[in-house]
Amino acid sequence: MSKTKVNDICQVQCFNSDLVTQLRETFPSEDTLEEMTIIFGILGDRLRVKILYALRNGEELCVCDIAAMLNVKIATASHHLRKMRDLKLVKYRNEGKLAYYSLKDQRVADILSYSLQEFICVP
């Protein structure tokens, strides 16, 4: 554990109350912050990012196809998809014995696209 240097902390109890108030008023609602936390939590898992990336163009994919694409067991893909479905990031439909998944809305695809542009400088 590193020790905090004296220069790393304020030495007096003084703050810019006007600025603090102004910035506090710009914060998103607690519900919005919770939703953002959920999305970023999901994006913290590499396999889930791959699944979302596969679904990003509005394609509807079967769990079996997703598992084959990512070289994982069907149960593994299904587990991750179920978690994302519970968090309302993806939707699914059954067709006979097959389960098809797609993104629930465009927000996650937009986040992925923006991230890719920033990380690999894709135009």
CATH number, domain at 34?
Answer: 1.10.10.10
Least confident residue range of 8-17, 86-95, 114-123: 114-123
Cα 63 to Cα 87: distance, rounded to the nearest angstrom: 17
Q: How far is CA 70 from the centre of its chain?
A: 18
pLDDT over 90 (residue 14): no
Q: Residue 72 domain-assigned? A: yes
Cα 38 to Cα 42: distance, rounded to the nearest angstrom: 6
List the structure tokens of 91.
Answer: 């939707």
CB 80 within 8 A of CB 39: no
Mean pLDDT of 13-36: 87
Q: Residue 91 domain-assigned? A: yes
- Domains in the chain: how many in total? 1
Q: Residue 62 domain-assigned? A: yes
Parent domain of 61: 30-120
Q: Residue 77 domain-assigned? A: yes
- Report which residue type is found at 47: L
Average per-residue pLDDT in the chain? 86
Q: How far is CA 11 from the centre of its chain?
A: 38
Q: Residue 4 domain-assigned? A: no
pLDDT over 90 (residue 107): no
The DSSP line for 86-116 is: HTTSEEEEEETTEEEEEESSHHHHHHHHHHH
pLDDT over 60 (residue 30): yes
Q: Residue 21 domain-assigned? A: no
Total-model pTM: 0.74
What pLDDT digit, counting tens, does each position of 34-92 carry?
Answer: 888 888 888 889 999 999 999 998 889 999 999 999 999 999 999 999 999 998 899 99
Q: What does the pLDDT read at residue 4?
A: 53
Q: Residue 105 domain-assigned? A: yes
How many residues can be counted in the chain? 123
Q: Residue 67 domain-assigned? A: yes
